[in-house]
Amino acid sequence: MQIFEFYFNPPLRRGSAGHSPDLIFNAFCFEPQNIYEKRVGGLYLAGVLRNTLPQNIHLLDHLTQAIKQQYYKNSLKNPAKALQEGLKLGNAFLENISKKGDVSWLGHLDFAALSLKNFELNFTKTGEIKIFLLRGGQVIDIDKRLKFEELEPYPLKIFGNIISGKLTQDDIVLILTEELLSPFQKLLPEIAQLAPFDEKKLKEIFERKEEILSKISGLCLLIYLGKDIRTRKKEMILGNRPRKEFAFKNIFNPTLKKLTLRFKKPILKLPVFKMPHLPPLRFKFKTKNPPSLKLRRARKNTILILILICILGLGFLFSKIEGRTKLKLYQTAFSQIQQKTNEAESYLVLKDNPLLLERANSLLKENQDDILSLIKVYSQTPQDFQNQVMELENKISDNLFKLNKLAVIPNPELIFEANPREFVPQKIISDNNSLYLFSPYAPNIFKINGDKKGTILPATKEIDSAAVSDNVLFFFSKSGGFTVLKDGQFHETTLPTLPDYAYDDFSSYQSNLYFLDENKGQIIKYPYLVNSNWSPPQIWLLSSTPKAIGAKSMTVAGSAWVLNKDNSVARYYAGQLQEILKLNVFPSPKDFSKILAVPGLAYIYLLEPQQKRVVIIDRTGGIIRQFQSDKFNNLLDFSVSEDGKIIYLLNGLKIYKILF
């Protein structure tokens, strides 16, 4: 990490007449000095005070010391909590001087406070000072999410919310005082393009804008998260005043002398002793009788046992080596997953940037697959490593749940349960007042009124699908029947069909009828005339348009929305394919079964029985909400109220209601 402080034309602390300058600004960077302070990481503060009175010339210094003292006071806290405690003491300091009657600084103080540890960023600010994140050539205003309460004189609270997020290597955090914002508007994109960051190139950018920068006075604090080389540089950039380089030798000028000490190695002379020459020793063993057969067998068995022990020992040693090798591989994989998770979390702080949130969602989904693969094989690893893996998996899941707006409902509202002796439903549809259950395997329609009482409406044929349009219910039977329920009255009619076309799914919009042929991927339209009469059928999709072959479901609401077999959603308009939406949603889709759109609403609803959920998206594919429950263990069909606020789910014999 590298820290650069640039002071553009800083005013002198005292004027020629001994008066304080109108403008004071300074940066304060504190790095951990011991293992205890390392637990909360570095603290970086920057402030500016305008219209300064003599008694406030040291206000920034005192405020900074108050925040720093409390920040490092209790190193057992996490960085966010430590920063919060430090800012609390900073508020108390400012409140104290206000109670003493000095409120001249109110409205004239801009201040930013950041903590940074292991790429974890926490920050807040007050006033017009700005904090930017420069990443991958982009300039991101990361402090616009801060919402500050109106200032009240007593009790005084200058510092409010704290924003937290994750940074990645090569990120640049840039703090600018208000005076530098206008000239830096054109400089920021150039600085963001410095990849990798180069101090010389940054100074070249400043030199090219010397004419502008020489006329302003302000502070630029730049933190570059490069390789783990900690450096800090402070530089004054002066305009018309004589330039003087900043050097520590102007503050400290000790005279150093090189001291060389040489020691002579003592030479010790020891007397040499000569050993007398002795004849070699020779041993002779005499055995009266050769070893018995029993003894030879015992020796042989002993040798075999020793060999077996050696083999087992080698096997144990090799298994240990193999275990260590596997552990290193798992740890490498874990580190990669952790690094990508940190990168994804760094995007989550930027909630107003949909592209970065989409990137975060993709990274977290990849990590979820990788961490689950790691969990399958980590059973032979140490327990502490398993705990780390599970902790990371929980973090990934929590972030995915939040990003994908997944609501798990333990106990959804049950509004009706059918009696199997009376009726076994397979499909459901709703209008303003009632619910209707039907089945392609049995005639009749089961109506549920607002009082949750059911009645059977006679029908002559089994019903395969239904649709609602303009307060009219349409029931279609593949065997050839077509029933209209209007004003409580049934009207049966027969529609002419196109030869060689199958009518697999059905929808209605403005009383026009639309049928889907899954095998040919074609849509057949019946334009509405009057008095429950329709024109002859016509092929709606143009011949040049890609067909929805193998589609699973269709709904029409302005456009025709078709659920493809790969779980993508195709939008057709005026007989032509307009776009295909690939849903980047967690959990990843396995098998959506039905799609439904409500005319006049911007939402599209998708049912997925396999994962016990209903997914709501907007018409660009963005996630609006998800509802999931273990009670949804036999989802057959669903319907949505005309205002889109109520979802009815047919789960076996039960009907659940979700308020959206």
pLDDT in tens, 543-584: 999 999 999 999 999 899 999 999 999 999 999 999 999 998
Dig out the tokens for 582 from the structure: 């690939």
Instruction: Supply φ then ψ for residue 64, to 5 degrees.
Output: -65, -45
Residue 310 has pLDDT above 60, yes or no: yes
Of 236, 144, 237, 132, the residue nearest 181 (C-alpha): 132
Residue 541 falls inside a structural domain = yes
Residue 275 falls inside a structural domain = no
What is the pairing mode between strands 413-417 and 654-659? antiparallel
Residues ≥6 apart with Cβ < 8 Å to 69: 86, 89
DSSP 8-state secondary structure symbol assigned to residue 534: B
DSSP 8-state secondary structure symbol assigned to residue 575: T
Domain, as residue range, for 22: 2-249
Residue 242: pLDDT band (50, 70, 90) is very low
Residue 62 falls inside a structural domain = yes
Residues ≥6 apart with Cβ < 8 Å to 631: 409, 411, 412, 651, 656
> From CA 464, how far away is CA 438, in angstroms rounded?
8
> From CA 312, how far away is CA 319, in angstroms rounded?
10
Q: What's the CA dihedral at 28, 34, 37, 43 to 10 degrees?
A: 20
Of 29, 24, 45, 11, the residue nearest 109 (C-alpha): 24
Residue 264 falls inside a structural domain = no
What's the rounded mean pLDDT across residues 304-308?
A: 80
Taking the model in full, what pTM does it have?
0.59
Q: Are residues 106 and 71 in the same domain?
A: yes
Residue 202: what pLDDT? 87
Question: Would you give the distance in Å from CA 473 to the centre of its chain?
Answer: 43
Q: Are residues 392 and 441 in the same domain?
A: no
> From CA 363, how far away is CA 219, in angstroms rounded?
36
> From CA 84, how far away is CA 87, in angstroms rounded?
5
Most confident of 245-254, 260-269, 353-362: 353-362
Percent of the chain with pLDDT over 70: 84
CB 585 within 8 A of CB 614: no
Of 437, 486, 467, 659, the residue nearest 556 (C-alpha): 467
> From CA 228, how far away is CA 2, in angstroms rounded?
9
Q: Are residues 48 and 167 in the same domain?
A: yes
First to last CA, the chain: 47
Q: Are residues 574 and 633 in the same domain?
A: yes
Q: Are residues 423 and 374 in the same domain?
A: no
| Cβ count within 10 A of residue 45 | 24
CB 551 within 8 A of CB 518: yes
Residue 278 falls inside a structural domain = no
Specify the amino acid at residue 381: T
CA 126 → CA 29, 92, 422, 499, distances in Å?
18, 15, 68, 73
Residue 427 falls inside a structural domain = yes
Of 628, 625, 627, 621, the residue nearest 584 (C-alpha): 621
Residue 259 falls inside a structural domain = no
Residue 565: what pLDDT? 93
Q: Are residues 377 and 419 in the same domain?
A: no
Q: Are residues 367 and 437 in the same domain?
A: no
Residue 282 falls inside a structural domain = no
Dig out the tokens for 174 from the structure: 């840039």
Number of domains in the chain: 3
Q: Which of 403, 425, 442 is the last residue of a domain?
A: 403
What is the pairing mode between strands 406-408 and 623-628? parallel
What is the pairing mode between strands 231-237 and 2-8? parallel
Q: Are residues 491 and 638 in the same domain?
A: yes
User: Is 283 or 492 the better-scoring residue by pLDDT?
Assistant: 492
Q: Are residues 319 and 241 in the same domain?
A: no
Residue 315: what pLDDT? 66
Q: Are residues 68 and 160 in the same domain?
A: yes
CB 91 within 8 A of CB 156: yes
Longest C-alpha distance within the chain, in Å?
Answer: 134
Q: Are residues 341 and 237 in the same domain?
A: no
Q: Which of 369, 403, 437 is the last residue of a domain?
A: 403
**Computed from CA positions of residues 192, 194, 197, 201, in that sequence, does the dihedral angle turn out positive or negative?**
negative
Residue 427: what pLDDT? 94
What is the pairing mode between strands 427-430 and 512-517? unpaired
Strand (E) or helix (H) holding 530: none
> From CA 45, how far away is CA 34, in angstroms rounded?
20
What are the tens digits of pLDDT across the range 179-233? 888 888 888 988 888 877 888 888 888 888 888 888 888 999 999 988 766 677 7
User: Is 321 or 457 the better-scoring residue by pLDDT?
Assistant: 457
Span of 324-328, 528-532, 615-619 with lowest mean pLDDT: 324-328
Residue that the structure tokens 């989409």 belong to: 358
CB 48 within 8 A of CB 177: yes
> From CA 327, how far away is CA 325, in angstroms rounded?
5
Residue 251 has pLDDT above 80, yes or no: no
Q: Are residues 439 and 559 in the same domain?
A: yes
CATH of the domain at 16: 3.60.40.10
Residue 145: pLDDT band (50, 70, 90) is low
Angle at CA of residue 504, ends 498 and 506, nearest 5°: 90
> From CA 309, how far away is CA 459, in angstroms rounded?
83
What are the tens digits of pLDDT across the range 335-352? 888 888 888 888 887 666
CATH of the domain at 553: 2.120.10.30
Residue 246 has pLDDT above 70, yes or no: no
